[in-house]
Amino acid sequence: MTGVLVVLACTLLFVRVSTASTNVPVEDETYDILLRLEAEGVIQSSLLATRPLSRKEVARLVYEAEMSPRRDEPFIRSLIGLLKYRFRDELIGTKHVSIDYIKPIDRLYAGYFYSDGDPREVVYNNDGDDYAEGSNARLGFSSRAVLGRFSFSINPEVRYSEDDTDIVMKRAYGTIGFAGLALELGKDSQWWGPGSHGSILLSNNPEPMMIAKLSNPHPVLLPWTFRYLGPFRFTLFATELGKDRVVPKPYLWGMRFDFKPIPYFEVGLQRTALLGGEGRSEDLGTWWKSFTGLGENPGVDVAGDPENNEAGDQRMGLDFRLTLPMRWQPVQIYGEGAGEDEAGGMPTKWAYLGGVYLPRILGLERLGFRAEYASTYLKDLAHVWYNHDIYRTGYRYKGKVIGHHTGTDSRDLFFELSYLVPDMNGWVKLSYDKEEHNLSGSTSEENTTGASPVKTEMSAGVKFDVRRDMSIECRYVTARLEDYDGRPGSEERVNLFSIEVSYNF
């Protein structure tokens, strides 16, 4: 424990914690590299279960990796080198020297996507972007700037399908750094939990939401006896979910605490809640009751009943990641559980997720493997998760589940085999995913027949640099859909091909 505290103290020396930084998008491959370094024991003060990380926090972890005794191993050195080049702007600002900059174009990208059927079941965890059947194209760029205590980032995008063309602002936010904290205002995605294929409470499955978020972007040590919790981060956010809902304009808020009591064991505590909306109380007392979990939201429900005193829609959970950085075979074991409701002051009606990650297989340092399982199925209760009697639109934003993409009453089994090619900043990934839905066999607004759809999906992807700052990524997905769209006994196949070219300035 002493070692990780010393590392944390030393690496924080080069960060001006009062300066702001933009974020690394939650889907960025940077997190795969950081997880690999963490699983190998190269970095120890990382808290990777809450994304996004700030670019300066990634730079701090790069600095920590360079202090590791394993930094000169060829494969480890190649991974560190990728991050050093990618975050060179932040690594320049070391030893209390902050570098201000404006990058009008940080990344430019263009993508083409073709599907021979309705691709909605094979497109998820992609910031709510829906492709249409047939040809689709995406063209966009990201910009960022750091000016002392302020930072800004925007990501406009043109989206084309055979029936429509739109210009959207995929991300746009600003941050203010003060007293070791960061206040973020704008549109951005979040991911809470150690899962790679899904997350129970908060993921990038829906479109990025307009949020107000307060966090400490760099881990700190709490005072007094709480210092034994190790590196600590918190996140607190709130947003309004919009008017196109059964209860228009409800608020969603959440808080999360991450800490690492020992270098190889990370723990997270998290909570989210819906409250307010048209016809329901939104005063400070209601917010306080929601925050404390004592019950809140007296007011008029959607049926106009003034006697309705039911609390808002609340969820609470915890997660962990255990790293065993054994030289012969490193492994990470992780899990997440959350309650959809409460009984006796404790979460109940649990959904859960578990997984294992092998960053390499014995001496094959380029070959990795991951297995992950998630369930939102409750044996004696149908359609509980992500649904609510009052907030009947559910735990969704613009039609997409805010948590795990598999949705309610479902199971998801996922395997992935990966091969890294650091000298080309590349990888090859093969995956298998099986989702089972409506396991209770009950009917609902989405499923009026009681059918239990099953999706079996396989995918192959490859990404590599064609030059130092230019990369190409290709992916092919094929899925078999059984008993979908309320048609018991039916079977449908969907194939999706995508290619994206990007240039980093």
* Residue 260 clears pLDDT 90, i.e. is over it: yes
User: Which one is predicted more confidently, 6 or 398?
Assistant: 398
User: Cis link prior to 52 (omega < 30° from 0)?
Assistant: yes
* Residue 309 clears pLDDT 90, i.e. is over it: no
Beta strands 165-178; 209-215: pairing state: unpaired
Residue 452 banded pLDDT, cuts 50, 70, 90: confident
Note the pLDDT of residue 282: 86
User: Which one is predicted more confidently, 441 or 420?
Assistant: 420
* Residue 15 clears pLDDT 50, i.e. is over it: no
Q: Which of 6, 428, 25, 355 is nearest to 198 (CA)?
A: 355
Q: How far apart are CA 167 and CA 134, in angstroms?
A: 19
Per-residue pLDDT tens over the stretch 231-244? 999 999 999 999 99
* Residue 505 clears pLDDT 80, i.e. is over it: yes
* Residue 305 clears pLDDT 80, i.e. is over it: no
For 150, list phi and psi in degrees, rounded to 5: -120, 145
Query: Domains plus CATH for the chain?
Result: 2-276+312-504 (2.40.160.130)
* Residue 304 clears pLDDT 50, i.e. is over it: no
The secondary element (H helix, E strand) that includes residue 9 is helix 2-11
Residue pair 237/254 in contact (Cβ under 8 Å)? The answer is: yes
* Ranges 289-298, 345-354, 468-477: which has the least confidence: 289-298
Beta strands 101-115; 491-504: pairing state: antiparallel
The secondary element (H helix, E strand) that includes residue 84 is helix 74-86
Query: What's the per-residue H, E or C state across 204-244?
Result: CCCCCEEEEEEECCCCECCCHHHHHHCCEEEEEEEEECCCC
Residue 4 banded pLDDT, cuts 50, 70, 90: very low
* Residue 12 clears pLDDT 70, i.e. is over it: no
The mean predicted confidence, pLDDT, of the chain is 90
Q: Pull the structure tokens for residue 368.
A: 């990795």
Average pLDDT (199-207) is 97
* Ranges 18-22, 64-68, 475-479: which has the least confidence: 18-22
Average pLDDT (393-400) is 94
* Residue 137 clears pLDDT 80, i.e. is over it: yes
Note the pLDDT of residue 286: 83
CA torsion through residues 181, 402, 193, 28, sign: negative
* Residue 187 clears pLDDT 70, i.e. is over it: yes
Task: Give one DSSP letter per residue of 28-74, joined into a string.
Answer: -THHHHHHHHHHTTS--S---SEEPPBHHHHHHHHHHHHTSTTTTSH
Q: How far apart are CA 14 and CA 22, in angstroms?
A: 17
* Residue 56 clears pLDDT 80, i.e. is over it: yes
Note the pLDDT of residue 458: 98
Note the pLDDT of residue 447: 60
Question: At a CB cut-off of 8 Å and minimum separation 6, what does 395 contact?
Answer: 274, 313, 315, 385, 386, 387, 388, 401, 402, 403
Residue 478 banded pLDDT, cuts 50, 70, 90: very high
Q: How far apart are CA 199 and CA 254, in angstroms?
A: 14
Residue pair 248/277 in contact (Cβ under 8 Å)? The answer is: yes
Beta strands 396-397; 367-375: pairing state: unpaired
Q: How far apart are CA 403 and CA 444, in angstroms?
A: 20
Q: Pull the structure tokens for residue 414.
A: 């996922």
Q: Is residue 91 exposed (0-12), middle (13-18) or buried (19+ Cβ within 10 Å)?
A: buried
Note the pLDDT of residue 472: 97
Note the pLDDT of residue 449: 62
Residue 485 banded pLDDT, cuts 50, 70, 90: confident
Note the pLDDT of residue 6: 46
- The distance from CA 391 to its chain's CA centroid, rounded to whole angstroms, is 24
Question: At a CB cut-off of 8 Å and minimum separation 6, what does 224 contact?
Answer: none
Residue pair 444/459 in contact (Cβ under 8 Å)? The answer is: no
Residue 445 banded pLDDT, cuts 50, 70, 90: low
> Which ranges of 278-364 does DSSP label H, i.e. alpha helix?
284-292
* Residue 179 clears pLDDT 60, i.e. is over it: yes
**∠121-124-125 over CA atoms, to 5°?**
165
CA torsion angle 308 394 251 193 (round to 10) = 130
Task: Give one DSSP letter per residue of 158-189, joined into a string.
Answer: EEEESS-EEEEEEEEEEEEEETTEEEEEEEE-
Residue 285 banded pLDDT, cuts 50, 70, 90: confident
Residue 380 banded pLDDT, cuts 50, 70, 90: confident
Note the pLDDT of residue 468: 87
Residue 301 banded pLDDT, cuts 50, 70, 90: very low
* Residue 113 clears pLDDT 80, i.e. is over it: yes
One-letter amino acid for residue 314 of the chain = Q
Note the pLDDT of residue 209: 96
User: Which one is predicted more confidently, 288 or 271?
Assistant: 271
* Ranges 350-364, 435-449, 485-499: which has the least confidence: 435-449
Per-residue pLDDT tens over the stretch 23-52? 999 999 999 999 999 999 999 999 999 999
Note the pLDDT of residue 299: 46
With tokens 């228009």, the residue in question is: 248
Residue 342 banded pLDDT, cuts 50, 70, 90: confident
Query: Quick check: helix, strand or coil at residue 79?
Result: helix
